[in-house]
Amino acid sequence: MKTYIILLRGINVSGKNKIPMAELRNLLNDLGFQNVQTYIQSGNIILESEKSKSVICQEIKEAIKGKFGFEVPVLARTIPEWKKAIANYPFPIDNTKIVAFVFLNRKIYETKINVKGIHNDEYLIDNDMVYIYCPTGFAKTKLSNNLFERKLNVTATTRNYNTTLKLLELAIK
């Protein structure tokens, strides 16, 4: 049985795509996943399964569409992949409020994209991750999920530093 960290993109944001976490946990338990946990309301799940990442993502996506009536992108990582993502963060972590991890649904071979007006913000594309460092703050940055999805033709979902570390902590308990 492998432990996976599952990320849902764009749920419970500004009153859209509402999914109560208790109902989501019940749905995932009904699908046969083990030791299902959710963390905060933004689509963070930890679960155990014998299935592959692609099968897990597809089953969760279909089940959410069936129960809640809308489609949600679903990404999955194993614990070693999650640890590697954290270990590879290339920018300073002196202020965790300006650090973020963008998880992509597939590997990318590009290393730079054309983004105007990012000022002191920085990013690094590394396989299926984009690392973001935003000294100007996340409210002002142009480095968003939508930008990376559009420029790289991927599905992307971002988690801040504290959430990323907390998900690992919960997954290895």
Q: Convert the pLDDT of each residue in 105-142 to its tens digit.
A: 999 998 889 888 888 899 999 999 999 999 988 888 88
Residue 94 has pLDDT above 90, yes or no: no
| Residue that terminates a domain, selected from 46, 79, 112 | 79
CATH number at residue 8: 3.30.70.1280
Q: What is the pLDDT of residue 133?
A: 95
Which letter does DSSP use for residue 132 in this model?
Answer: E
Q: Which residues pair with 38 in a beta bridge?
A: 45
Residue 13 has pLDDT above 80, yes or no: no
- Helix (H) or strand (E) holding 85, with range, is helix 79-87
Same domain, 69 and 91: no
Q: Say if CB 2 and CB 50 are below 8 A apart.
A: yes
Q: What is the pLDDT of residue 21?
A: 92
Average pLDDT in the chain:
93
Q: Say if CB 104 and CB 156 are below 8 A apart.
A: yes
The total number of structural domains that make up the chain = 2
Can you give the C-alpha Rg of the chain in angstroms?
16
Same domain, 73 and 121: no
Residue 162 has pLDDT above 80, yes or no: yes
| Residue that terminates a domain, selected from 14, 44, 79 | 79
Q: What is the pLDDT of residue 28?
A: 97
Same domain, 55 and 119: no
- Helix (H) or strand (E) holding 6, with range, is strand 2-8
Residue 99 maps to a domain? yes
Q: pTM, whole model, 2 decimals?
A: 0.94
What's the domain range around 99?
86-160
Angle at CA of residue 128, ends 164 and 169, nearest 5° = 20
Q: What is the pLDDT of residue 41?
A: 84
